[in-house]
């Protein structure tokens, strides 16, 4: 009998994965992308076992226990696993990881021992990958970056590494003393290695020691080489530019498709766009909005500087006087919670929900007419892709992946757009005064032109923002890396 060729084994390493633990888009990507790669490779995911993960609900089972050394200190590690929608996920449990409920700490500051928590996670991942003969590790952000260094340290390991930067603003920066705690040689305290302004940066390990580096949109790949967006790493990244590419994220249509979304009162798609209004009516009534005829603008996201929350707050006073409704869902820095509360307290056309609520977010996408995304920088952004799939026109600042994925309505022409796969919306220059208000005014004019408004939404909804296109590019990248194994 002919022996079948062993399928290449890929381990997708991430600090957050939907549906187990999520703080933002990384969790969506860490489920959607590996799922899209399943046909081509034998892919599994591995993540830390935080105290907040519901072991019973996800039927997470014990696999094995082993010891890991960081420096002279021994840590007991428990490996667990489960399968969700055909995708196997492993969990790394150890007291310092599992005794905390939050993933990284509070919005104000990370846990003090995050160097050890994620250092231990990476060391355990490499030990596991070695014992199970993985061929390639796909690492994501600073929390998994040290895997690349641990692999390079052991010349006997034949494992390729791909490091994806989802957000350069979070780098995992720690004191120099962390090197010793992690059992890493002092020679890494060098500007070409981990040293970063007197401390050490985990992100630099991913960039320096991985075989290839990607980021989540072609435009962000260019931006991070500049001082404005490079977060102090632009020079370092330029040195490694030959292995850096940008691949736009996709959306997991199994979870984000208005046709099948179980959170919605009324399902719909491009061909039944008119049914969408049923969701809007129900949502506006549920949230006690006074005037159901007005267009609904939504903002969903982390309350942090990056997302342009200051621009939004600045505009709220004026927006409370305009003929529109606004719904905001998010959580984050407490100063923003307070400011938003104050600004919206008396407004009759605004609804604010503080917290993380997956179901509510789906209802909001299904009810809204416009999405506000005034980000100061945005590596890719998922909200604009989700919104276009749900028939919501995005208003975005022209940065990062937003520039790659939201095309100007000035260029929209029905006959030209017919059959193309470009999503259309409004984009503005974040540095221009009053840009957000001006763009909202343009959106209100568009809303009055019901025929064009519907036509654009139907076009956006018929575009394919799934993972398929990105998965093809990642597949060739994986293959070219695997060819380098000697
Ligand atoms: P981030 O920078 O936070 O990763 P992305 O645009 O890449 O931003 O992804 C955000 C994802 O998180 C989207 O799926 C969005 O709908 C979801 N999201 C953000 N905040 C909330 C919230 N408070 N409740 C529910 N979903 C949220």
In order, the DSSP letters of 53-74 are: S-TTTTT-EEEEEEEEEETTEE
CA of 329 to the centre of ligand 1 (A): 10
Q: Cβ(397) to ligand 1 under 6 A?
A: no
- For residue 9, the cross-strand partners are 42
CA of 448 to the centre of ligand 1 (A): 29
Based on the fold, state whether residues 44 and 190 are members of the same structural domain: yes
Token duo for residue 335: 């100063």
Based on the fold, state whether residues 228 and 296 are members of the same structural domain: no
CA of 287 to the centre of ligand 1 (A): 21
Q: How confident is the model at residue 416 (pLDDT cuts 50, 70, 90)?
A: confident
Based on the fold, state whether residues 306 and 177 are members of the same structural domain: no
Based on the fold, state whether residues 381 and 473 are members of the same structural domain: no
Complete DSSP assignment for 234-251: HHHHHHTGGGEEE----B
Based on the fold, state whether residues 245 and 274 are members of the same structural domain: no
Q: Cβ(381) to ligand 1 under 6 A?
A: yes
Q: What is the mean pLDDT of residues 13-41?
A: 95
Local structure of 406: helix, strand or coil: coil
Q: Cβ(362) to ligand 1 under 6 A?
A: no
Q: Is residue 107 part of a domain?
A: yes
Question: What percent of the chain lies above the pLDDT cut of 70?
Answer: 98
Distance CA 82, CA 55 (A): 9
The pLDDT value given to residue 106? 83
Q: What is the mean pLDDT of residues 38-54?
A: 96
Q: Is residue 259 part of a domain?
A: no
Q: Is residue 137 part of a domain?
A: yes
CA of 482 to the centre of ligand 1 (A): 33
What DSSP character marks residue 368?
-
Model confidence pLDDT, tens digit, residues 236-278? 999 999 999 999 999 998 899 999 999 999 999 999 999 999 9
Which ligand 1 atom sits closest to the C-alpha of 358?
25
- Give CA separation, 363 vs 347, 387, 417, in Å: 22, 11, 28
Q: How confident is the model at residue 1 (pLDDT cuts 50, 70, 90)?
A: very low
Q: Are 295 and 332 in contact (CB under 8 A)?
A: no
Q: Whose CA is nearest to atom 11 of ligand 1?
A: 25
Angle between helix 358-367 and helix 276-286 axes, rounded to 10 deg: 120
Q: Cβ(217) to ligand 1 under 6 A?
A: no
- Which residues span the domain enclosing 343? 270-462
Model confidence pLDDT, tens digit, residues 112-149? 999 999 999 999 999 999 999 999 999 999 999 999 99
CA of 375 to the centre of ligand 1 (A): 13
Output phi, psi for 401, to 5 deg. Answer: -70, -15
Q: Cβ(22) to ligand 1 under 6 A?
A: no
Q: Is residue 400 part of a domain?
A: yes
Distance CA 114, CA 92 (A): 15
Token duo for residue 400: 């990062």
CA angle, 423 then 425 then 431, to 5°: 125
Q: Cβ(363) to ligand 1 under 6 A?
A: no
Closest CA to 310 of 374, 356, 355, 398: 374
The pLDDT value given to residue 2? 45
CATH number of the domain residue 211 falls in: 3.40.50.2000
Based on the fold, state whether residues 91 and 198 are members of the same structural domain: yes
The pLDDT value given to residue 436? 97
Q: Is residue 319 part of a domain?
A: yes
- For residue 200, the cross-strand partners are 174, 195
Tell me the best of 30, 382, 385, 386 to mutate to test the pocket of ligand 1, counting ligand atoms within 8 Å of each CB and taking the most: 382
CA of 316 to the centre of ligand 1 (A): 21
CA of 425 to the centre of ligand 1 (A): 19
Q: What is the mean pLDDT of residues 71-78?
A: 95
Q: Is residue 14 part of a domain?
A: yes
Tell me the best of 361, 400, 470 to mutate to test the pocket of ligand 1, counting ligand atoms within 8 Å of each CB and taking the most: 361
Which ligand 1 atom sits closest to the C-alpha of 256?
14
Q: Are 244 and 230 in contact (CB under 8 A)?
A: no
Based on the fold, state whether residues 181 and 91 are members of the same structural domain: yes
Q: What is the mean pLDDT of residues 192-203?
A: 97
The pLDDT value given to residue 486? 66
Model confidence pLDDT, tens digit, residues 463-480? 999 999 999 999 999 999
14 pLDDT higher than 60? yes
Model confidence pLDDT, tens digit, residues 268-322? 999 999 999 999 999 999 999 999 999 999 999 999 999 999 999 999 999 999 9
Q: How confident is the model at residue 3 (pLDDT cuts 50, 70, 90)?
A: very low
Distance CA 179, CA 5 (A): 41
Q: What is the mean pLDDT of residues 29-46?
A: 96
The pLDDT value given to residue 168? 97
User: pTM of the entire structure?
Assistant: 0.94
Tell me the best of 333, 367, 383, 397 to mutate to test the pocket of ligand 1, counting ligand atoms within 8 Å of each CB and taking the most: 383
Tell me the best of 16, 21, 25, 392 to mutate to test the pocket of ligand 1, counting ligand atoms within 8 Å of each CB and taking the most: 25
Q: What is the tally of structural domains in the chain?
A: 2
Based on the fold, state whether residues 142 and 245 are members of the same structural domain: yes
Based on the fold, state whether residues 329 and 387 are members of the same structural domain: yes
The pLDDT value given to residue 421? 92
Q: Is residue 4 part of a domain?
A: no
Output phi, psi for 369, to 5 deg. Answer: -105, -35
CA of 178 to the centre of ligand 1 (A): 31
CA of 26 to the centre of ligand 1 (A): 9
Based on the fold, state whether residues 210 and 137 are members of the same structural domain: yes
Contact residues for 473 (Cβ-Cβ < 8 A; gap 6+): 247
Based on the fold, state whether residues 204 and 108 are members of the same structural domain: yes
Distance CA 446, CA 391 (A): 14
452 pLDDT higher than 80? yes
Model confidence pLDDT, tens digit, residues 317-365? 999 999 999 999 999 999 999 999 999 888 999 999 999 999 999 999 9
Q: Whose CA is nearest to atom 8 of ligand 1?
A: 25
Q: How confident is the model at residue 225 (pLDDT cuts 50, 70, 90)?
A: very high
Based on the fold, state whether residues 246 and 334 are members of the same structural domain: no
Q: Whose CA is nearest to atom 26 of ligand 1?
A: 358
415 pLDDT higher than 80? no
Q: Is residue 337 part of a domain?
A: yes
Tell me the best of 103, 165, 257, 300 to mutate to test the pocket of ligand 1, counting ligand atoms within 8 Å of each CB and taking the most: 300
101 pLDDT higher than 90? no
Q: Whose CA is nearest to atom 12 of ligand 1?
A: 24
Model confidence pLDDT, tens digit, residues 309-329? 999 999 999 999 999 999 999
């Amino acid at each position: 009998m002919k022996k079948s060729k062993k399928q290449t084994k890929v381990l997708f390493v991430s600090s957050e994965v939907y549906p187990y633990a999520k703080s933002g888009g990384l969790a969506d990507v860490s489920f959607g992308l590996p799922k899209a790669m399943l046909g081509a490779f034998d892919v599994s995911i591995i993540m830390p076992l935080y105290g907040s993960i519901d072991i019973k609900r996800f039927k997470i089972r014990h696999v094995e226990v082993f010891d890991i050394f960081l420096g002279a200190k021994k840590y007991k590690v428990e490996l667990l696993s489960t399968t969700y929608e055909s995708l196997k996920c492993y969990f790394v449990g150890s007291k310092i990881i599992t005794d905390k409920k939050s993933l990284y700490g509070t919005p104000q500051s990370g846990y003090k021992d995050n160097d050890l928590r994620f250092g231990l996670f990476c060391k355990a991942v490499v030990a596991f990958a070695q014992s199970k003969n993985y061929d390639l590790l796909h690492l994501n952000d600073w929390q998994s970056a040290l895997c690349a260094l641990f692999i390079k340290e052991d010349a006997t390991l034949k494992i390729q590494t791909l490091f994806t930067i989802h957000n350069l603003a979070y780098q995992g920066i720690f004191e120099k003393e962390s090197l010793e705690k992690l059992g890493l040689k002092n020679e890494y305290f060098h500007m070409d290695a981990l040293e970063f302004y007197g401390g050490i940066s985990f992100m630099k390990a991913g960039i320096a020691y991985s075989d290839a580096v990607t980021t989540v949109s072609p435009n962000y790949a260019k931006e991070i080489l500049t001082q404005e967006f490079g977060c102090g790493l632009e020079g370092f990244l330029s040195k490694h530019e030959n292995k850096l590419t940008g691949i736009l994220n996709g959306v997991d249509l199994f979870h984000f498709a208005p046709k099948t979304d179980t959170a919605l009162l009324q399902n719909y798609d491009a061909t039944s766009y008119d049914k969408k209004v049923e969701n809007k009516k129900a949502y506006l009534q549920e949230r006690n909005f006074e005037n159901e005829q007005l267009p609904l603008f939504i903002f969903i996201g982390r309350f942090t500087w990056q997302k342009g929350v200051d621009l939004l707050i600045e505009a709220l006073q004026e927006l409370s006087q305009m003929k529109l409704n606004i719904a905001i869902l998010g959580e984050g820095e407490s100063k923003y919670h307070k400011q938003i509360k104050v600004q919206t307290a008396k407004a009759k056309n605004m609804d604010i929900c503080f917290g993380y609520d997956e179901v509510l977010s789906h209802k909001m996408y299904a009810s809204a007419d416009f999405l506000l995304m005034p980000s100061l920088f945005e590596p890719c952004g998922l909200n604009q892709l989700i919104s276009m799939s749900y028939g919501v026109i995005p208003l975005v600042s022209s940065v990062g992946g937003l520039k790659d994925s939201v095309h100007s309505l000035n260029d929209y022409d029905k006959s030209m757009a017919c059959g193309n796969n470009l999503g259309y919306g409004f984009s503005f220059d974040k540095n221009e005064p009053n840009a957000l208000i001006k763009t909202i005014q343009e959106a209100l004019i568009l809303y009055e032109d019901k025929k064009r408004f519907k036509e654009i939404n139907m076009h956006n909804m018929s575009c394919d923002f799934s993972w398929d296109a990105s998965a093809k590019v990642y597949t060739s990248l994986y293959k070219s890396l695997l060819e380098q194994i000697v």
